[in-house]
Amino acid sequence: MSEAAKYIHGHAPEVLAAHAWRTAARDAAHLLPHLQSSFSILDVGCGPGTISADLAALVPTGHVTCLEISESALAAARKTCSDRGLTNVSFATGDVTTHLPFPDGAFDVVHAHQVVIHLAQPAAALREMRRVLRPGGVVACKDMVVGSAVWYPPDARLALWAVGIAGTIAEGGADPQMGVRLRAVALEAGFGEGEMECRGSCWAFADREAVGYWGRSWVARLGPGTQLRGKMVRGSYATEQAVDEFVEAVGAWAGEPGAWFGCMHGELLARKT
């Protein structure tokens, strides 16, 4: 099975629309203090390109290369960057677990947001990221710890989210708790202890706008006929009825005045010396 097929969410319009909520300020904050205006950046698994576009604006005399395994996702990234009038961006397809289509030492930064968690060969991916870094360059990864998810107010029907996400990720040979393993994977990939900085952060959907976004995104991503819904049911992580109950519950949750969702992430900065 290809890495594209293993990606549990797929690249349907509702998935790309949900991922377009992401920003560099929120989702790559661990990387931003290390950027310089002339840097060349590779954004692995760029999705709809909202983080990529933010990064491009931060390196006005540099360049951002958006990489995707999916042509549909890359088309969305092209549109995002075009809509913002960015000219220092290019686009490429490739698989980070096999061979990136770039020479050794091509980039100052390789960024990957919620990518390594979906890979059955994470150390191979980090080795490729390291290969295309210049000496002194940095790999920046951020990945979820699915088992840390918490919903408030509690509702037993919402437990399907973690069970279904974890099950479908693991079924493809990847680790749904990857956020806690990033340091170990980087060591396996050849980074030294003194080359790494590891920390954690939390997604917290805790105001009306964020709660509304999170609720709507999951109603869309687990609707009838969606890829993730099919994977959950075929893998016996949920029944059709249970998914319907989750969709009903998450819609109700999004309307609660005090609704809150949080999930821990691991963050890695690994420098090539």
Q: Domains of the chain: which residue ranges?
A: 3-271
Residues of the chain with pLDDT > 70, as a percent, come to 93
- Mark residue 225 as left, alpha or beta (left: phi above 0; alpha: psi -120 to 50; beta: remaining): left
**pLDDT 10s digits, 143-168:** 999 999 999 999 999 999 999 999 99
d(CA 46, CA 68): 6
CA–CA distance, 191 with 261 (Å, rounded to integer): 34
- 3-271 classified as CATH 3.40.190.10: no
pLDDT confidence bin for 72, thresholds 50/70/90: confident
What does residue 264 show for φ and ψ, rounded to 5 degrees? -75, 150
Nearby residues of 176 by Cβ (< 8 Å), 6 or more positions away? 117, 144, 146, 147, 165, 166, 169, 170
Helices 240-254 and 160-171 meet at what angle, rounded to 10?
130
Q: How far is CA 162 from CA 62, 152, 167, 214, 247, in A?
A: 39, 14, 8, 14, 14
Q: Is the pTM here over 0.85, yes or no? A: yes
Q: How far is CA 220 from the centre of its chain?
A: 18
Averaged pLDDT for residues 102-108: 98
The set of residues, in sequence order, having a beta carbon less than 8 Å from that of 201 and lying 6+ positions away, is 29, 30, 142, 264, 265, 267
- According to the model, what pLDDT value does residue 6 have? 52
Is the Cβ–Cβ distance between 200 and 216 less than 8 Å? no
Q: Can you say whether the dihedral through the CA atoms of 197, 191, 74, 47 is positive or negative?
A: negative
Q: pLDDT-based confidence at 239, cuts 50/70/90?
A: very high
